[in-house]
Each structure stands twice: as structure tokens, then as C-alpha cells.
Amino acid sequence: MKALTSLPLVMFLLSGMASPAFAEEAVAPAPHMPLIGEEAPAFTVETTQGTINFPDDYKGKWIILFSHPADFTPVCTTEFMTFATMMPEFEALNTQLVGLSIDSKYSHIAWLRTIREKAEYKDMKDVEVTFPLIEDIKMDVAKKYGMLQPTASTTQAVRAVFFIDPAAKIRAILYYPLSNGRNFDEIKRLLIAMQTSDAFQVATPADWRPGEDVIIPPAGSCGTAKERMEKSGQDDMDCKDWFLCFKKLPKEDVEGATGQL
């Protein structure tokens, strides 16, 4: 009878001893992925171009921070060749490229040497990658930026792209799966579109390219809406309705404002 009486007590005590650990595990917060408009998380790391303090080392520049799953993988190789070949185009747009994978600096160096000496893709060969590639063996940066997605892989970063403006704010985020390479034309197009929006206080429509019409932000009052409709057709402005107004923006103006001229 005593044994039966004490059994519930023992079970209660045991459950009480175990409960804090289970409770702590249950409420552990998930890593926070930085969102559009937030400050870019800062870090100091080793790269193939030496130590960098991010984003402070690139004050006044746009930054494209991008991750890839692993060194010595075929899709990543084609992406790095493309980024490296386009590097002068991004530099003309006042933009710094920074890569990352969960590999050592020595693995990075060996891989980049292989790209330079052996890799060929489309019309690209003898490609030298000179932008920094972050060593992130402990996954510290990948976790800060939400580049690790456990349902895709716990040991590789997905193909994330973070656009960071000169004020160190996250402006856009793109994610691609492990199996598919990025569209670099779109990366450059989006960068130019954001720089154009900043320079001219406009929005850009779907599939916009420099030289095409841009969108004037919607009217904030009835009076402004009426005035826009009355002035439609003047000053290169074309209003389809009070909320949908386009205006001309020459390609030369865009290229001048974004530093391409």
C-alpha cells in the first residue's frame, strides 16, 4: 500500500525536475531574419579579401550580400562566374558584392583558384573573383540573416540575396532554392529600380527598365487627384485614373542619377 501511495509522488517530483528543460526548449525563440526597412545586422569576419567590418566598411555604398550553399558545387560556380564578370557593372552602380557560405577561408581560396584555372560557362573563362567571400564555419552570419532554412538543409545556406542601401538599411530580399541559380539580370534591374526610386521619388511598374515610364506616387488628397487628372497629358504626365499616373523618365537621366554615365 505504501508503494502505491508514494508512486504518484515520485512521478510528480520527476516531472517537476524535467519540466524546466522542456519548457525552455518549447519557448526558445526562432532566429530573427532581418526584414525590409530594418538595420542590416553588423558583424566582423574573415574573408578571402581579409577582415571586414560589415556594413561599416562600405559606408556610402549599396551592398549586395548573398549566400550560396557550398564551395565546389556546380550551380554556385556558374553564379560566382556571373557575379565576378558583372562586377564592373555593379561597381558603376556604387555597389559592393559580398558572398558567403558555410565553408572555411581555405576552402574558398581553393575553389576560387579552380574557377580561375578550370571553369568555363557560356562565354566566361579565366574568371577571377575579387569581391570578398565570407568564412562562416560557425554559421554566425548565416543565422543572423536567416540564410539557414532547416527544411531545405541544416548544413548549407540557401541562395539568399540582401540589398542594403548606403544608410545600412535592408531594402530588398530574394531567396532561391538550392537547386536553381539566380537571375542576375533581375538582381541588377531591381538595384537600378530602387536607386531610381530614391533619386526621383517615383515608383517603377512591373518589368520596368531604364527609359520606360515610371509611376508617380498616388495622390494624397482629393484636390491633388483632381489636379492630376486635369493636367494629364502635360509635363510628360499621363494619368489613366486619379491613382494611376505615369510620367516620362529618359534613360539618360536614370543612368546619370545611378552613376552609369
Catalytic residues: 76
* Cβ partners under 8 Å of residue 132, min gap 6: 47, 48, 49, 50, 52, 98, 99
Enclosing H/E stretch for 187: helix 184-200
> Would you say 115 and 149 are in contact if contact means Cβ atoms under 8 Å apart?
no
Interhelix angle 74-92/184-200, rounded to 10 degrees, is 30
* Rounded distance between C-alpha atoms, residue 39 and residue 169, angstroms: 5
> Would you say 64 and 95 are in contact if contact means Cβ atoms under 8 Å apart?
yes
